[in-house]
Amino acid sequence: MDASIVRRNPMQTRALSLVQPSVFDEIDTWAGHVWDSWTPTLFHYHRSAIPMDMYETKDGLVLKAELPGFRKEDVDISLEGDCLTIKAVSKQEELPKDSTMYLDELCYGEYSRSVTLPFPVDNDKISATFENGMLEMSLPKTEESKPKRIEVKVK
């Protein structure tokens, strides 16, 4: 069975022959570029991005970051101004002598992600926990960034 891909010429279709050839040529050329530029790869998770969720509560921010395969000791968190940076380092184990590698898909090295916080947080009250490859941080709002109710007075 021949499983090759055959490019179709839209102008050979009688129903479409009434449309100007240049439109179909442009679409065919564009689709060809898109298809030809696609390179099949191994679809595995690349950790350099460090996927995160961040949401606001009434008291502050909650940030969750996936760091599968890392240990607490591998993770470094810093806050400079309104920029929060999470770094994680993993090292490749050395192969035993006289061994042969058949698959080499795991990612090793330093991974980093920085996010700009939407409002000031209280640096002294930030907390972080790490369990089963999930980092969870609580970043409380400063008093200045909490909403304030302003009372209207009658004159």
In a domain, 56, yes or no: yes
CATH of the domain at 114: 2.60.40.790
Average pLDDT over residues 39-64: 75
Question: How many distinct structural domains can be found in the chain?
Answer: 1
Domain residues for the domain of 110 are 47-92+105-145
In a domain, 81, yes or no: yes
Per-residue model confidence (pLDDT) at position 41? 47
Strands 52-56 and 75-80: unpaired
Rounded distance between C-alpha atoms, residue 69 and residue 89, angstroms = 10
In a domain, 4, yes or no: no
Q: In this predicted model, what pLDDT tens digit does every residue of 126-137 receive, in sequence order?
A: 999 999 999 999
In a domain, 119, yes or no: yes
